[in-house]
Structure 1
């Protein structure tokens, strides 16, 4: 599916250049081969750390994945001020098959998956069962999250699994280490990929520890699986999993809204965040969403917030409605305070999302598992000083998602699953699905292009 010329080099660099705390001791005159790369638990664990670091790169969870989703879903709530043509294409919904953001999203996704496959292929070096289970569970989490987002961007929606038989993305289960390992697969169906993702996460839930520092734990896997089941309309599973995470008691909403963002360490409500340090990870959300005074690009910011966005707020006291700034000295556009520090972690799953998933699922099912929908919505609202509601409708719940999760990469996927148009484009328009990168199809003729490209 691609040349993988970079894979061999990348793999070598990943092993050597992981953080100092996890660096491997490699003989300086010895080339890295499959004989010595995977022969100890420490080496395999370091490959896993490399997979986390790769996932945190700008091309994926370091921010571009969020930016692509927000610009594709934009209907006059945002303005693209930047000079880069590639992200501007997401805003206009006219995307070239040679778009570098698209190509890098695909390539980085399969790099992450390949490293996870390497880990999973070398678990026999572990003698300690707990360590082995943890490493296996983390690798399956990383593989699952990667395939989930590749699928959501490069394939049609799958509401109620109606498009199970349509083209998904290729599933690669075996590692590519040497040139002879390269294969040229066709695209699996959407249903096959969802089954693959769900199986990985169900395994991870059994394997992962209850707590695991900044790495994936059982509640991280449950939270992601809740998000996935919500995406495809499995409300009962989404409700039960989100409820288990909330009831675990391991997380709590931050007392102040400001404490939920721009953190060097995980906040109390971060179920999982992509870690950004001076040496690992990236925060391209700061690059594109902050003004130049806070480290953003000269678009000041490249992505500004337009007045139309603020129509979703129903209470002037809601602190989220004022979580924005204008740099009057430089004449900036309206920017969000969520992304003002370039070295801060990027929240991926926060506790408020679990309350919103439980509220929506309970509402749709007519149940009150864990709490009634109004209570969950008010839990989210009151933290931001918004007026508590006496009752909620389905529209209230969705509007609360838009307020709480704005600019965090959810809007496009929510609109697709709820079958909401993006301006004049229907939710299932071909222009809201990314093209398979042309350079991938040049190498692998078995990759069928998406409709409309």
Structure 2
């Protein structure tokens, strides 16, 4: 066996054998190895970076779960979940148990992928100067994105009480090769986790190139992707000036553009210019779990998430988004995820226009363009009648119409202090429980209220 294959196996063993930072087996894993042994060359670091992206693309992360949790937990019967998975039905009904395996794997896979990023960041001295900034930027992008998603799901909303006191999730910023009692971390505050995510993504934006080429170009993060996630984070914090400026950086970079037709934004052959960051899916690797649950059986899906007429009625006549559905039997399904092997969109340029519009409106500014022009840019693409004036409810509705089924439903309800039906945004059952196996293992963890 040559040395490069040995190093690949070492790196793979390291990634697969390390569980989440606070997840500990009863015995120390016998196959874990020291990071210094595994990551001794630039090639090892690059292989581990590929592994980190593989983790990020898992069905329990950006391969689908992060998005459908955001939609189904925020749903008020705009859809019906008609599938047989009790774990996802719990999410839709907001009756999640602490033993739910879907939310458990969100936590586990999130921390496993963060650990891969930590290993990369700890081994940057093995990377030549030509690639070092890019590798660091990508590792920070992955870690920052996941800490944002974890704290958003398992912690209280930024505007619910005090983020400097509310428990978020544990911050682990160094590699874990085997778990000891010292690795049992308590939950950092919501504010601390947000600060870490912002720090990682800010550094990622400064380090990453505008576009990626070669081996790194296959679905890798870019400067625009980091800025786009920063825009989301700042909007969630109600830091409207920072959200506006981050979104404006993405738009004004010229790297991305709206595709001419709304349907083209969800077709792999045409959506390229609009998608800022995506998860690559091929027939050899990766799974599009949005197709699995949202698409009908006619489009290789399970047909579990069925769109109701009350939601479709929100679209005005002529708006092509209101007809971007398909029927199978008696049920209606979104057409956004019809391709079983379609890449999974994580963030699109259309969202950045809507972030900039909302932030500018709230601040009374017109950085980049006016709120009215930004909203109408999205509506014109959808063949919807242009607005003559715009207010906050109109922008929030436009987000609902444009970004439906892309994971932004519950975050928008929480940050605007809305309701899910009659359930207030700050209700206990709109926060995921810390998985019971983590509570049982790590005595430093405190469970969320209501569980």
CA distance in 2, matches of 1:182, 1:289: 42
Contact 2:14 2:35 in 1 (8 A): no
1:153 alignment counterpart? 153
Contact 1:264 1:344 in 2 (8 A): no
> Which deviates the most, 118-127 or 179-188?
179-188
Per-residue CA distance 1:397-447 (angstroms, 9 max, x = gap): 000000000000000000000011101110100010000000111111111
Measure how far apart 1:178 and its partner are. 2.9
Measure how far apart 1:310 and its partner are. 2.1
CA distance in 2, matches of 1:176, 1:369: 44
TM-score (norm 1): 0.90
CA distance in 2, matches of 1:10, 1:342: 30
Contact 1:116 1:140 in 2 (8 A): yes
Distance 1:308 1:205, change over 3 A: same
Per-residue CA distance 1:234-256 (angstroms, 9 max, x = gap): 00001111111101111111112
CA distance in 2, matches of 1:321, 1:139: 39
1:339 alignment counterpart? 337
Contact 1:270 1:347 in 2 (8 A): yes
Contact 2:35 2:119 in 1 (8 A): no
Per-residue CA distance 1:338-370 (angstroms, 9 max, x = gap): 011111101111000000000000000000011
1:127 alignment counterpart? 128
**Equivalent position to 2:227, from 210, 214, 222:** 222
Measure how far apart 1:311 and its partner are. 3.4
> Which deviates the most, 259-268 or 191-200?
259-268
Contact 1:259 1:267 in 2 (8 A): no
Measure how far apart 1:15 and its partner are. 8.6
2:374 alignment counterpart? 376
SS at match of 1:98: coil
2:136 alignment counterpart? 136
Counterparts of 1:27-426 in structure 2, within 5 Å, are: 34-128=35-129, 130-159=130-159, 162-180=162-180, 183-212=183-212, 213=217, 214-263=219-268, 267-297=272-302, 301-313=303-315, 315-327=316-328, 331-426=329-424
CA distance in 2, matches of 1:312, 1:165: 39
Distance 1:91 1:307, change over 3 A: same
> Which deviates the most, 264-273 or 54-63?
264-273
TM-score (norm 2): 0.90
Q: How many residues align?
A: 425
Distance 1:171 1:13, change over 3 A: closer
Distance 1:449 1:14, change over 3 A: closer
> Which blocks of at least 5 consecutive residues in structure 1 are unaligned?
1-7, 17-29
CA distance in 2, matches of 1:319, 1:87: 30
